[in-house]
Chain A
Amino acid sequence: MIAELGHYMLVLALGLAVLQAVFPMIGAARQDGRMMMIGQPAAYGQFIFSLAAFASLTYSYIVSDFSVAVVARNSHSLKPMLYKISGVWGNHEGSLLFWVVFLALFGALVAYFGRGLPKSLRARVLSVQAMVGVGFYLFMLITSNPFERLPNVPFEGNGLNPLLQDPGLAFHPPFLYLGYVGLSVVFSFAIAALIEGRVDPAWARWVRPWTLLAWVFLTTGIVLGSWWAYYELGWGGWWGWDPVENASFMPWLVATALLHSAIVVEKRDTLKSWTILLAIIAFSFSLLGTFIVRSGIITSVHAFATDPERGLFILMFLALVIGGSFLLFALRSDKLQAGGLFAPISRESGLVINNLFLSVAAAVVLYGTLHPLLSDALFGVKSSVGAPFFNLVFGFLMIPLVMIMGLGVHFKWKRADIKGISQRLKAITGLSLLAALMTLYVTYGGDIMPVVWMGIGIWLLLSMLQELSSRVKLGQVPLKDSLSRLKRQPRSSWGMSLGHLGFAIGLIGIVATSSWSLEQQKVMRIGESMTIGDYTLRLDDVIAVAGPNYSAVRGIITVTGKDGASFMAHPESRTYISSPMTTTEGAVETTMAGDLFIVIGDAQTSGRWGVRVYYKPMQVWLWIGSTIMVIGGLFSLSDRRYRIGSPQGKKAAGKKNTRSAAHAI
């Protein structure tokens, strides 16, 4: 009954989405206020109904109703509650439902916060948002109905894959989806602007917080996934350039570019059609990430063949959305005139070059991911594109990007004084060279690129600190004044500083952990020892442990550092009851200097155990850096300027409109 109710709610949501797609669009074209008004209530209703559908599916999971096909396939009555719930979105049908709920939520948010928008723009945005929704509802109802019942109800479910039973992974997909779906709002704004035929700084001001929100979610989602891979897969790897990872990385790269180019539109009223194009591409990558990987076209062509109906729908939907919006762009983008001009050395130029490199990077990831597929289809050659390729090409693209990042923040709008800037950066450049030389000394005999990268990473970090200190006039005015200036910095400039500082910290971590990791493995008897770097490990004991739905072996290991201090580590190897599969729970000892990562394996012959140990220098810097980036994004998002953009009574709305009107005149 509950499942049928959910199904019905989904159909109702589709109906409302159709209304929301059709009437506001016609209304906006005819300047008919009443037709445009339909968008808002339809958006709220659509959200409520899709949420109800989601709630009923969640209910089926919570009570383990195995007569519902997806629940039987993906759940198990013995699973902890957290994973029963996260199981809702841990599969194809459920994750699609999750998608549309958020799509509808963002639509409702636009309807609510967009009360200050010009009526026709808001109507068109809501309409485009609903059009995307219609596609998703149809896809679900026609090919992937999450509420399908089984004719013969099984006694027990198949269980969720043990690898997915991890808190990191319970929250990784929702954040990623929030990011993907957040970009749908940006897309809707872009398409609406193309239909309206105008993009002005006010438009960029409305779009920026949505881009930022999507970016914050995407970053969080990607980092959670990476963190999970690091802890759970037991190889100490956190990024493998795997098609699924790439699929989430591409929209991130484009969203990052968009975040920067929208600033230029807002401040300088130029770069408009490029920004619109980026918005379209960003969402196209989101769709690609959701669909193509899901359907299995990249990893195995079979998945398409096994369910031709699904594959065909996906291809048609993608062609319609992506092709349609590019066509619209081609037809209408000449309407968008460029405004202000700028000198070759200026903040604008820096941001343009940032966009150039980020876009090329996204293109490299896209083509590298698709190359094996194309090569097989066109030349009949099976070929692989993996980490060694991406690391090489991406590394070369990142060097100029990081350089322009470190320089660009010092540039002024319109025209920057390069001499003055290089004068100011002399000291930190010297310090970074010194740091690089020290790195060279410590790692003498190793590769040279990590040394170069370390220098660049430290330079970037110092450059960002220098920018912050020059903004508060540190050293030029009494310390007290500097501090009060620091306090008065607007949140958005804190966001900029934190975002970039976080990037620099993460970059340093990435360089260290991917260049200087150590690895040791040994088959150990109880009482035996092994050494890695400065640490000595002794296997004291191995015991059997029982968990709620698994049994495990746990190693009791004493680790002694160089200084004689010692601590205990308890790595586990778990075997799950519902599926014959083993997962590793590595024991990780984290310090700022590096992670010691211990993994225990199965019993070998005659009471011996396989033990693998990794030392990952500065690994935690990556997690700290990316957390700071996200915090920076949140700071920016909470800036007063964006709140002014939302309707806080008549007065605020009036203010903003005066400004946008002033720009138009």
Chain B
Amino acid sequence: MRYLLVPFILIALSLNVFAIGVDKDRLHDPAQEARAQQIMKQLRCLVCQNQSIVESDAGLAVDLRRIVREQITAGQSDVQILDFMTSRYGDWVLLKPPFKMATALLWLGPLFLLLVGGFLVFRYVRQTPVKATPEPLSPEEEKRLKHILRDNNK
């Protein structure tokens, strides 16, 4: 699916991003590691194309994963860690953008569309019947009809 992006990825990154790395500093407490994974999924790998830091072996992603784990070990809350990342890299690092003026359309748009669409559907379903007047046949169709009727009468 992402094959169209491959040229851009190659330009943007070192050539070895698809090599498999292994995090050696995984947290021993499974609950903490699960929390770390959850947070890492929310953070963009800033040098990749639309990947979270969970699914990249780019140097930056590896560094950011280490930082997330360190902060969890240091007892920081999820919100604190995300705040830290945002203060360092801006909103761009968040794959789920926060609700702001600039993202209002993004967050409220679907709701707005549903309301408007729902209203239109409601009005459509409740409308009073319009007497539909069938359109006259085109000359070509008249000819066809005659032809068919003649066929059937045979």
B110 touches A386 (CB 8 A): no
Is A389 an interface residue, CB under 8 A from the partner?
yes
Roughly how many angstroms separate A384 CA and B51 CA in the complex, as a whole number?
10
- Known A-B contacts A364-B110, A388-B96; the reply to A581 vs B15 at CB < 8 A is yes
B137 touches A584 (CB 8 A): no
Roughly how many angstroms separate A300 CA and B151 CA in the complex, as a whole number?
63
Q: Which of B22, B52, B102, B105 makes the CB contact (< 8 A) with A387?
A: B52
B141 touches A118 (CB 8 A): yes
* Chain B residue at minimum C-beta to C-beta distance from A656: B148
Q: Which of B24, B103, B106, B113 makes the CB contact (< 8 A) with A360?
A: B113
B92 touches A383 (CB 8 A): yes
- Known A-B contacts A296-B8, A383-B91; the reply to A602 vs B132 at CB < 8 A is no
Q: Which of B1, B42, B55, B121 makes the CB contact (< 8 A) with A353?
A: B121
Is A5 an interface residue, CB under 8 A from the partner?
no
* Chain B residue at minimum C-beta to C-beta distance from A235: B55
Contacts of A352 in B (CB 8 A): 121, 124-125
Contact residues of B between 60 and 96, Cβ < 8 Å to A: 90-96
Contacts of A294 in B (CB 8 A): 4
A612 touches B20 (CB 8 A): yes
B141 touches A664 (CB 8 A): yes
Roughly how many angstroms separate A368 CA and B114 CA in the complex, as a whole number?
16
- Known A-B contacts A118-B140, A164-B3, A356-B118; the reply to A386 vs B95 at CB < 8 A is yes
* Chain B residue at minimum C-beta to C-beta distance from A90: B3
B125 touches A293 (CB 8 A): no
For this complex, into which size category does the number of interface residues on chain B fall?
A: 35 or more
A341 touches B148 (CB 8 A): no
Contacts of B132 in A (CB 8 A): 337-339
B114 touches A385 (CB 8 A): no
Between A164, A244, A342, A665, the greatest number of chain B beta carbons within 10 A of the residue's beta carbon is seen for: A244
Contact residues of A between 208 and 248, Cβ < 8 Å to B: 222, 225-226, 228-229, 233-235, 237, 239-245, 248
1/0 per residue, CB under 8 A from B, across A162-188: the answer is 011000010011000000000000000
A521 touches B23 (CB 8 A): yes
Is A580 an interface residue, CB under 8 A from the partner?
yes
Contact residues of B between 1 and 59, Cβ < 8 Å to A: 1-8, 10, 15-16, 18-24, 26, 37, 41-42, 44, 49-52, 54-55
- Known A-B contacts A243-B50, A383-B97, A581-B18; the reply to A356 vs B121 at CB < 8 A is yes
Roughly how many angstroms separate A242 CA and B51 CA in the complex, as a whole number?
8
Is A2 an interface residue, CB under 8 A from the partner?
no
Q: Which of A164, A242, A344, A658 makes the CB contact (< 8 A) with B49?
A: A242
1/0 per residue, CB under 8 A from B, across A119-148: the answer is 110000000000000000000000000000
- Known A-B contacts A31-B139, A172-B1, A386-B96; the reply to A356 vs B117 at CB < 8 A is yes
- Known A-B contacts A161-B6, A371-B103, A654-B151; the reply to A600 vs B20 at CB < 8 A is yes
For this complex, into which size category does the number of interface residues on chain A fall?
A: 35 or more
- Known A-B contacts A299-B49, A341-B127; the reply to A359 vs B19 at CB < 8 A is no
Q: Which of A392, A582, A664 makes the CB contact (< 8 A) with B134?
A: A664
**Which of the 9-residue segments A320-328, A374-382, A473-481, A485-493 touches chain B?**
A374-382
A375 touches B4 (CB 8 A): no
A233 touches B2 (CB 8 A): yes
B18 touches A584 (CB 8 A): yes
Is A393 an interface residue, CB under 8 A from the partner?
yes
Is A25 an interface residue, CB under 8 A from the partner?
no
- Known A-B contacts A118-B141, A341-B127; the reply to A388 vs B95 at CB < 8 A is yes
Roughly how many angstroms separate A31 CA and B139 CA in the complex, as a whole number?
9
Contacts of A383 in B (CB 8 A): 91-92, 97, 102-103
A380 → B minimal CB distance (Å): 9
Is B138 an interface residue, CB under 8 A from the partner?
yes
Contacts of B97 in A (CB 8 A): 371, 383-385, 389
A224 → B minimal CB distance (Å): 9
Roughly how many angstroms separate A523 CA and B21 CA in the complex, as a whole number?
9
B22 → A minimal CB distance (Å): 4
Contacts of A379 in B (CB 8 A): 102
B134 touches A169 (CB 8 A): no
- Known A-B contacts A385-B106, A386-B96; the reply to A661 vs B137 at CB < 8 A is yes
Contacts of B52 in A (CB 8 A): 386-387
Roughly how many angstroms separate A581 CA and B125 CA in the complex, as a whole number?
58
Contacts of A173 in B (CB 8 A): 3
Roughly how many angstroms separate A245 CA and B110 CA in the complex, as a whole number?
20
Roughly how many angstroms separate A344 CA and B50 CA in the complex, as a whole number?
42
Contacts of A600 in B (CB 8 A): 20
A338 → B minimal CB distance (Å): 7
* Chain B residue at minimum C-beta to C-beta distance from A574: B18
Is A657 an interface residue, CB under 8 A from the partner?
yes
* Chain B residue at minimum C-beta to C-beta distance from A223: B1
1/0 per residue, CB under 8 A from A, across B115-126: the answer is 001100100111
A521 touches B121 (CB 8 A): no
B110 touches A658 (CB 8 A): no
Contacts of B96 in A (CB 8 A): 385-386, 388-389, 392
Roughly how many angstroms separate A582 CA and B21 CA in the complex, as a whole number?
12
Contacts of B16 in A (CB 8 A): 581-582
Is A367 an interface residue, CB under 8 A from the partner?
yes
* Chain A residue at minimum C-beta to C-beta distance from B131: A337
B residues lining the A interface (CB < 8 Å): 1-8, 10, 15-16, 18-24, 26, 37, 41-42, 44, 49-52, 54-55, 90-97, 102-103, 105-106, 109-110, 113-114, 117-118, 121, 124-127, 129-130, 132-135, 137-141, 144-145, 147-148, 151-152
Beyond A337-B130, A360-B117, A367-B106, 9 extra complex contacts between A and B, CB < 8 Å: A172-B1, A241-B50, A341-B127, A360-B110, A386-B52, A387-B95, A389-B95, A522-B22, A573-B19
Top 6 A-B residue pairs of the complex, sorted by shortest distance between their CB atoms: A386-B95, A601-B20, A225-B1, A610-B22, A388-B96, A235-B55
